[in-house]
Structure 1
Amino acid sequence: MSAIFDLRLEVRPEHIDQLGHVNNVIYVQWMQDVATRHVDVLGLGLKQYLELNHAMVAVEHHVQYRKAAFEGDQLILRTWLDAIDSLYLSRQYVFYRPEDHSVLFVAKTKWACVEINTGRPKRMSPTFMHAYQPLSAQVNPLDFTHDYT
């Protein structure tokens, strides 16, 4: 399994704002969607979170909107982990149009491990530490010639 995760989608009418392009809030929703799908593939979905009584929650986002996306555009939402310690992990995102390799959006999220019952910070279990591995420095996540879907 690759440390990079790609999710393909088509921009639908409900993603479009009054200016005729994808609404900024939709990009943040897509960040959550692709991260959730990636975590599921890693074997740490909601069921496992509940069983282990801890989960990762977003504590900080940095986003950059680069180009507009429009209804009908085919996009790839790409994500990967780039750093981890016992309490936090960092996830990066790049959303691009495969047709012309245009980067539309880049972002980074800091996630914290918390105990579900209390909401307090908790050290990641060995299960989390094993599943959440940062991308190797030898892999270029901006190489769009590789498809990870």
Structure 2
Amino acid sequence: MDATNINNRVEINWDFPQPFTLQRIPNHQDIDGLNHTNNAVYVQWCEMIGWAHSEFLGLSLTDYKRLDRAMAIRQAEYDYLLPSTLGEKLILATWLTDSDEKLSMQRRFQLVRESDHAVIFRARWNLVCIEISSGKARRMPPEFSQKDVPALTVATIAT
């Protein structure tokens, strides 16, 4: 199934307000030998929704290349809480939750099973702005502050 933004269709107790969401449904290629969605698939979904959210905010891969800047993962944490299985409707959410507005930013993720709202997975990326051509850390260009910083969510994670 294609991913679609479903922010206004489902009432879920999200970790942070106003998530950017996509629906995911594990298919046969996503399932591992234990008949669960493979952990690596969740990581791929995080990358997918991160790009989709960035484009939604107005920064595409083309923009990153033009600016010779991008936000790269410096550290990633993944918490696999419950399994998901073939055909289950899941909702993946993301937020930008912190930024020093110069060099670093944080992105959070939450994956919820649609049927019972159980949290399947949480993740956090600590990002650093890099110059694409050199791979070196560089200050964020004004476009990043103009597009990403207004989208920052400041809230305490639910326990």
TM-score, normalization by structure 1: 0.88
In structure 1, the partner of 2:62 is 47
For 2:48, the equivalent position in structure 1 comes to 33
Q: Which of 86, 99, 113 matches 1:84?
A: 99
Q: Which residue of 2 aligns with 1:101?
A: 117
Distance 1:141 1:34, change over 3 A: farther
Within-5 A mapping of 1:1-149: 4-85=19-100, 86-133=102-149, 134-137=152-155
Indicate if the aligned counterparts of 1:56 and 1:114 stay in contact, CA closer than 8 A: yes
Q: Deviations over 1:40-87 (max 9, x none)?
A: 111111010011111111111111111000000011110001100111
Corresponding residue number in structure 1 for 2:12 = none
Greater than 6 Å deviation, 4+ residue runs: none
- Normalising to structure 2: TM-score of the pair? 0.83
Shift of 1:99: 1.3
1:12-50 CA-to-partner distances (Å, cap 9, x unmatched) read 010000000001111111110110110111111101001
Provide the C-alpha distance between the structure 1 equivalents of 2:133 and 2:48, rounded to a whole number of angstroms: 24
Offset of residue 126 of structure 1: 1.2
Between the aligned partners of 1:79 and 1:22, the Cα distance in structure 2 is: 19
Percent sequence identity over matched residues? 34
Aligned residues: CA RMSD: 1.8
- Per-residue CA distance 1:95-127 (angstroms, 9 max, x = gap): 001211010000100111001111111100111
The residue matched to 2:75 in structure 1 has which SS?
A: strand
- Structure 1 pair 51–89 and aligned structure 2 pair: CA distance change class (3 A): same
Q: Is the 8 A contact 1:15 1:26 kept in 2?
A: yes
1:3/1:122 CA distance change after superposition, 3 Å:
farther
- Could you list the runs of 5+ residues in structure 1 that have no partner in the other structure? 143-149
Give the SS at the match of 1:113. strand
Deviation at 1:4, TM superposition (A): 2.2
